A = this chain, B = another copy of it.
Amino acid sequence: LLDARPGLAKQLHVSHGASREELDRGLAEAEVLLAGRFEAEAIERRAPRLRWVQSIFAGVEKIVSSVPPTVAITNAGGVHAGKAGEYAIGGILMLNNVIPTMIAQQRQRAWNPVYTSSLKGKGVAILGTGHLGSAVARHCGHFGMVVTGISRLGRAEPGFDRVVRVDELAGVLPGCAFVVVTLPNTPGTRMLLGPTEFGLLPPGAGLVSIGRGQVINEAAMVDALASGRLGGAMLDVLEKEPLPRSSPLWGLPNVVITPHCGVDDPESDLSLALEVFVDNLVRYTDGRPLRNLVDRDAGY
C-alpha cells in the first residue's frame, strides 16, 4: 500500500504492540496512532506528542471523549458499507417473506403457507444517510422500494428518493413498511426510536438495526414486537452487548439476533481500513485535510 508514495516508508518510525506496556512504549514518542480497540484513558499524558488517531473501526464513541480535542480522530467509515448493505436488504427480504414465522412453523412440522406481497412500492425509512445508509438505500431502490433517508441536516443524497431531517421523522413513519437504523451512538441519536415512533409505523412493520443499539429504546421495542405492533426485527446491535441472557428479545419468535457480526467482512475489513489509513498518511505528510475526520460535536 505504501507504494502509493515512494519514500514515505523511510520517513516513518513504526512501533507496534498488543499489550498496554508495548502500546505505551510506542506512544511516548508517537505522533500518529493506528488502533483498533485500545485503552484511551489518560492518553494525553501517555502520548504527549500525539496529533492524530486513525481507528480501524467505524464507531469511535469509546475513544472520542478520552482523546484531547487537539488530536484529530479519523475512523474507518465506509469499510463496512458492502456487507452492511447486504445484511440490511437481506433482513428486509427475510422479514417481508415472514421467514421467522416460517421457521417457527417448521419446528412444529406444520405446512401452513403464508402469502406476502413483493417489496416493490413499499416504503422504507433509513435512519442515517452516511456510508451504511447509502448502501442500504441503493439496494432498496433496486427492489423498487420508496426510500426515505433521515439525517441531521436533511440534505439530499444519491440513492434516496428524499431525505428529511430527524425532526420530521414522525411524518415519514406512517408510510414505511420497514425501518433501517444505521446511526452511530451520539448524544443526538440516543433513543431516537421509542414507543411514539413504533406507534406511528403501520401495524406489522419490520425493523432492521445495524449501526448502534443505543438509537433504539429497547424496552419499547420489546413491547412493540411482543404485541405484534412491530411485525419483526433483525438486530445486529443492541443496547448492551453481549445481550444479557435474561433479555426477552432472545425468545421472541419474530426476532432474529445476530451478535454484532452482520456488517463485518473478515476478508476485506482490515485491508479496506488500512487503505483509508495509508491514504490519510499521505495526506498527513502533505499537510492536506484528512479523510473520515470525526466531528467532535456530532460524535461521528
Residues of A near any B CB (own CB < 8 A): 82-83, 86-87, 89-90, 93-94, 96-97, 99-100, 102-103, 105-106, 109, 111-120, 139, 142-143, 241-243, 245, 250, 255-262, 264-268
Contact = CB atoms under 8 A, between A and B. Distances in A.
As for how many copies of this chain the complex holds, the number is 2
A237 to B, nearest CB: 12
B90 A97 contact: yes
B90 A93 contact: yes
A260 B257 CA distance: 26
A99 B94 contact: yes
Contacts of A257: 102, 106
A123 to B, nearest CB: 15
A234 B143 CA distance: 20
Residue of A89, A90, A242 with most partner-chain B CB within 10 A: A90
Contact of A262 (B97, B245, B265): B97
A114 B100 CA distance: 19
Given A86-B143, A102-B257, A260-B113, A94 B94 contact: yes
A258 B113 CA distance: 7
Contacts of A120: 82
Contacts of A97: 86-87, 90, 258, 262
A267 B117 contact: yes
B113 A261 contact: yes
A100 B258 CA distance: 11
Contacts of A143: 86
Nearest to A264: B115
Given A111-B241, A111-B259, A113-B261, 4 more contacts: A82-B118, A82-B120, A86-B93, A89-B93
Nearest to A99: B256
Nearest to A252: B106
Given A102-B258, A117-B268, A143-B86, A242 B93 contact: no
Given A97-B258, A99-B94, A86 B118 contact: yes
16 contacts: A82-B118, A87-B97, A90-B97, A99-B99, A103-B256, A105-B259, A106-B255, A106-B257, A111-B241, A113-B258, A113-B264, A117-B265, A117-B267, A117-B268, A118-B267, A139-B142
Given A94-B90, A99-B94, A242-B111, A118 B259 contact: no
Contacts of A245: 109
A16 B105 CA distance: 36
Residue of A105, A116, A257, A265 with most partner-chain B CB within 10 A: A116
B86 A250 contact: no
A299 to B, nearest CB: 25
A265 B102 contact: no
Contacts of A103: 100, 103, 256
A235 B145 CA distance: 25
A213 to B, nearest CB: 13
